[in-house]
Chain A
Amino acid sequence: MTRLALTRRHLLSATGAVLATGIAGLRAPAHAQGLAPTPTMRGGSNNYRPGAPLVDRIGGGGFLTTGTVRRAGDGMPLAGQRIQVWAHTTEGHERDERSHGATLTDANGVFRMDMPQIVPAFGQPHGHLAYDSGEFQTVFLRPVMASAGETSLTVDFVLVPA
Chain B
Amino acid sequence: MTKLRAGLAWGAVALAVVLPIGIAANSPLLQWRDAVYVTAGFAGILGLALLLLQPLLAAALLPGLATGAGRRIHRWLGAGLVAAIVVHVGGLWLTSPPDVIDALTLRSPTPFSLWGVIAMWAAFAAATLALVRKRLPLRIWRLGHTTFVVLVVAGTVVHAVLIVGAMGTVSKIALCALVIAATVAAVARRRVWAVVKRRGD
Q: Are A and B co-members of a single complex? A: yes
- Which one of A22-30, A42-50, A107-115, A154-162 is at the interface? A42-50
- Which one of B10-18, B67-75, B96-104, B117-125 is at the interface? B96-104
CB distance from B99 to the nearest CB of A (A): 5
- Whether B99 lies near A46 (C-beta < 8 A) is yes
Interface residues of A (CB under 8 A from B): 41-43, 45-47, 88-91, 93-95, 119-125, 142, 148
User: Cβ of A120: which chain B residues have Cβ within 8 Å of it?
Assistant: 29, 164-165
29 contacts between A and B (CB under 8 A): A41-B109, A42-B102, A42-B109, A43-B108, A43-B109, A43-B110, A46-B99, A46-B102, A47-B96, A47-B99, A89-B32, A90-B32, A91-B32, A93-B34, A93-B96, A94-B96, A95-B96, A119-B29, A120-B29, A120-B164, A120-B165, A121-B33, A122-B96, A123-B110, A123-B112, A123-B162, A123-B163, A123-B164, A125-B164
For the complex, is B113 an interface residue (Cβ under 8 Å from A)? yes
For the complex, is B171 an interface residue (Cβ under 8 Å from A)? no
Known: A121-B96, A123-B165, A148-B164. 6 other contacts (CB 8 A): A47-B96, A93-B33, A120-B164, A122-B92, A123-B112, A123-B164
CA of A120 to CA of B96, assembled, Å: 14
